[in-house]
Chain A
Amino acid sequence: MIAIAPRQQINWDWRAAGNFVFGGTGTGLVAMIASAVLFGASYPSDAILVGLGFVGAGLFLVLLEIGRPWRFMNVFRHPHTSWMSREAIAAVLFFGTGGIAWLLALEPMIIAAAIFGLIFLLCQAKMLQASKGIPTWREGAIVPLIAATGLVEGAGLLVLLSIVLTGSVQYWLANTLLDLLVLRTIVVLFYAWRLRGPRSPLVVKPGLRRAVWMAAGLGGIVPVLLLLAPPELQQASLLPIAAGIALGTGWGLKYTIVCRLGAMQGFAIKHTPARGGAAPGTSSKPGWSGWL
């Protein structure tokens, strides 16, 4: 029987989720590097390449998902209204500026790459918001959610890269991660609040609760607690753990949104029909908590 109530979409799977995961992280990372440039702080220069690599990996996964990969150039044809076209254009500019920045070590180009990266990130967020068929995606709060998630991941990744490449993490970066985590937690809670009651299908509620616990609980409160711990413990162990959790929960959240909370609209009628002499009936919107 054709399912009437909303059920998980199957058009976009882990490959599409991977684009949001890696795209957010990569652009977030470049944004953090650009922050370092603006703050006059030092940064591991090869991290830019890592950022480009993440975004590239995400787009490669998309290539694996689309039905006609050899026609990928057609993706640029509709920037007038399509956030996917805009995302693709932003990606080209991001790679261009980011590549130049890395090759020539030009800091202004890092700023430019970060701007295009943030535009790319915004495009990704708007792409989900424009998905009118998916109630949890079309919710406006998805935009700050995707943006905040990308930035947190960028900060978290820069922390880890700093430890690996330079052996230390700068104070501003740890603070930024802390601030962004607080912001992301607020945004996640706001997103979940926006989807309360009849604003989202019943089928997503358990997953949504789990996502909140993951992103706002484990991913928000735990790293914050770790970052607030005594400084002597920070560099050694707690900071990378916090960064790892920030990163992992962000990825988990986006994977969940695409692959678990992507329930479709389902079907609804405003009236059951009159039959013969019988009066018509009420509306029906199966799988939702409220009536139309």
Chain B
Amino acid sequence: MTRYVMVADLRRCVGCQTCTAACRDANATPPGVQWRRVLDMEVGTYPDVQRTFVPVGCMHCADPPCMDVCPSTATRKRDDGIVTIDYDLCIGCAYCAVACPYQARYKVDLVRYAYGDDPMEPEEKRHDPSRVGVSTKCNFCVDKIDDGIAKGLTPGVDPDATPACVNSCIANALHFGDIEDPDSNVSRLLDDNQSFRMHEELGTKPGFYYLWDET
């Protein structure tokens, strides 16, 4: 079995949003639709304050509430753990969006562009009408992963089989790979470090791990 997961090293992340921009670029999402983004969290009161940058997005849960609630079966979980949306099936009810505890889903009804109502050439070229009025979210750059695997590449190791956010990360904070493979990069990181997952108590079994200290 394979389960692809994301690992974010909170010690490294600086909240620069390069992954946010890279994701917007790679997936041609409209302004404001950030499948990958980084939170700027403040903990404590002055002067005992800590500030932490937390990458978030779809957690590709093993038990994804979005999939259960989806009335159209547009949201599915692949055998490799990646949760996908079939834009041709989705009715845009946004039920998945309220079911997701990670605020990872976006639904855009009105087409918007970077500079108003008219698209720039690249936006026009990359505009995908099938994404209008439906739910969208991070898919771990699934097409790239599939293409890469078809070429014999290893997701998370070879850039051509790795999500854009991971390739873009300038702090080497984001990592991607197969958690079921004990020798994978992510398995080693999780072995060598302490980690947590967000909102685990909700029983979603998220596929997004946060490293916070060495073991």
Contact = CB atoms under 8 A, between A and B. Distances in A.
Q: Would A and B touch once assembled, by the CB under 8 A criterion?
A: yes
Interface of A: 1-2, 4, 9, 11-12, 62, 65-69, 71-72, 74-78, 81-85, 88, 127, 130-134, 137, 262, 264-265, 267-275, 280-282, 284, 286, 292
Nearest to A5: B41
B51 to A, nearest CB: 9
Contacts of A76: 71
Contacts of A133: 65, 97-103
A72 B90 CA distance: 9
Given A133-B97, A269-B210, A273-B52, A67 B92 contact: yes
B68 interface: yes
B91 A67 contact: yes
B133 interface: yes
Contact of A275 (B11, B90, B132): B11
Contact of B41 (A69, A75, A275, A286): A286
Contacts of B169: none
24 contacts: A1-B40, A9-B98, A11-B94, A68-B133, A71-B72, A71-B92, A74-B74, A75-B72, A77-B89, A81-B68, A82-B69, A84-B93, A127-B69, A132-B204, A133-B100, A133-B102, A267-B56, A269-B52, A271-B212, A273-B10, A273-B11, A273-B213, A274-B11, A280-B212
B93 A132 contact: no
A2 B212 contact: no
B92 A68 contact: yes
Contacts of B99: 130-133
Given A4-B39, A67-B91, A77 B73 contact: yes
B205 interface: no
Interface size class of B (residues with CB under 8 A): 35 or more
A270 B199 CA distance: 9
A137 B100 CA distance: 12
A78 B39 contact: no
B165 to A, nearest CB: 16
Interface in B42-89: 43-44, 50, 52, 54, 56, 65, 67-74, 89
Nearest to A265: B101
Interface in B92-141: 92-95, 97-103, 107, 109, 132-135
B95 A127 contact: yes
B145 interface: no
A4 B98 contact: no
A77 B213 contact: no
Nearest to B37: A2
Contacts of A4: 39-41
Given A71-B72, A265-B199, A132 B10 contact: no
Interface in B171-215: 194, 196, 198-199, 201-202, 204, 210-214
Contacts of A132: 65, 99-101, 202, 204
A65 B199 CA distance: 29
Given A76-B71, A273-B213, A11 B97 contact: yes
Contacts of A273: 9-11, 52, 211-213
A262 B204 CA distance: 20
Given A68-B92, A130-B68, 7 more contacts: A76-B71, A77-B73, A85-B71, A269-B41, A270-B210, A272-B10, A273-B9
Given A67-B132, A75-B72, A78-B70, A269 B196 contact: yes
B9 to A, nearest CB: 8
Nearest to B203: A132
B77 to A, nearest CB: 12
B213 A274 contact: yes
Contacts of B134: 67-68
A272 B43 CA distance: 8
Contacts of B102: 133, 265, 267
B90 A68 contact: yes
Contacts of B10: 269, 271-273
A176 B71 CA distance: 35
Nearest to B200: A270
Interface in B15-50: 37, 39-41, 43-44, 50
A75 B210 CA distance: 36
A271 B27 CA distance: 31
Contact of A66 (B91, B132, B194): B91
Contacts of B39: 2, 4, 267
Contacts of B211: 273
B70 A272 contact: no
Contact of A130 (B11, B69, B92, B135): B69
